Amino acid sequence: MAAAALADTPTRTDPRLIVPLDFPTVDEAREAIARLGDAVSFYKVGLELLATDGMALARELKRSGKQVFLDWKLHDIPTTVQKAAAALTGAGCDFLTVHGEPQVMAAAVRGRGASSLKILAVTVLTSLADADLEEMGYAETARALVERRIHQAIAAGCDGVVASPHEAALARALGGRDFLVVTPGVRPDWSAKNDQARAATPLDALKAGASHIVCGRPITAANDPHAAALRIVAEMKQAGTSFPA
């Protein structure tokens, strides 16, 4: 399919569903977006696309009425993070990730200023096990560090965290009702697990306290991505709870 300009489409999806655009080129991402049409209203643009034309695609998505999660995972000295976050407000996107260190989180919150860009902290990368943290000089387990950093994210003024479904209840309990809890590692029970070993279903992630779920390959690699997205949306409706989008 040729990469078409993104059309304005009425939304009949669930704004709690975020689909990551994990593609090597912007043209492939555009094709996926075109196939998903009105079934998806919220997209995540991550490092792979940001390394090429991802910000241009993000602006394009915003112009077409979609919500956009910029998964930059910023991590630098405070001045640089503050300036980068301030610069990123110009794209009018919705979510921005930063690493969950107190200086970094506080700088990003200063940088976004009065804009509506929500700052999400990545507490501890899920690729890091307790032994990796010990090797890096941390005296805490991953779970304890996640809890510490959720507290620090709240103190820094972050709007939420990225958490595994297994940490969603903790993040919800600590952050309260309006805290954003965005969970990747989500798999419907009818789809392949891929490399998500400890996946939860979309419904279970929402019931645990997620405000948003990130679900990629069960949708983007399906024979009919539009139908797969709507099937997940239908399952999500059963959770009944709606946290702020």
Query: What is the per-residue DSSP string for 64-75?
Result: TT-EEEEEEEE-
Cβ atoms of residues 100 and 124 within 8 Å: yes
Closer to ligand C5P by CB, 20 or 54: give it. 20
Choosing from 20, 165, 175, 188, the residue that interacts with ligand C5P (CB under 6 A) is 20
At its nearest, how many Å lie between ligand C5P and the CB of residue 219?
8
The set of catalytic residues is 73
Per CB under 6 A, 215 contacts ligand C5P:
yes
Kindly state the number of chain residues that form the binding site for ligand C5P, as judged by CB under 6 A. 13
At its nearest, how many Å lie between ligand C5P and the CB of residue 91?
19
Per CB under 6 A, 185 contacts ligand C5P:
yes
Strand partners for 95: 69, 118
Per CB under 6 A, 196 contacts ligand C5P:
yes
Residues in Cβ contact with 206 at an 8 Å cutoff, skipping those fewer than 6 apart? 16, 213, 236, 239, 241
Per CB under 6 A, 204 contacts ligand C5P:
no
Closer to ligand C5P by CB, 46 or 209: give it. 46
Three-point CA angle 142, 147, 152, nearest 5°: 120
Q: How far is CA 5 from the centre of its chain?
A: 24
Per CB under 6 A, 189 contacts ligand C5P:
no
**CB-CB neighbours of 59 under 10 Å:** 15
Three-point CA angle 190, 196, 202, nearest 5°: 50
Query: What is the per-residue DSSP string for 84-101?
Result: HHHHHGGGT-SEEEEES-
Choosing from 16, 66, 99, 217, the residue that interacts with ligand C5P (CB under 6 A) is 217
Show the site string, 123-152: x = touches ligand C5P by CB under 6 A, - = not: ---x--------------------------
Where does this chain bind ligand C5P (CB under 6 A)? 20, 22, 46, 126, 164, 184-185, 194, 196, 214-217
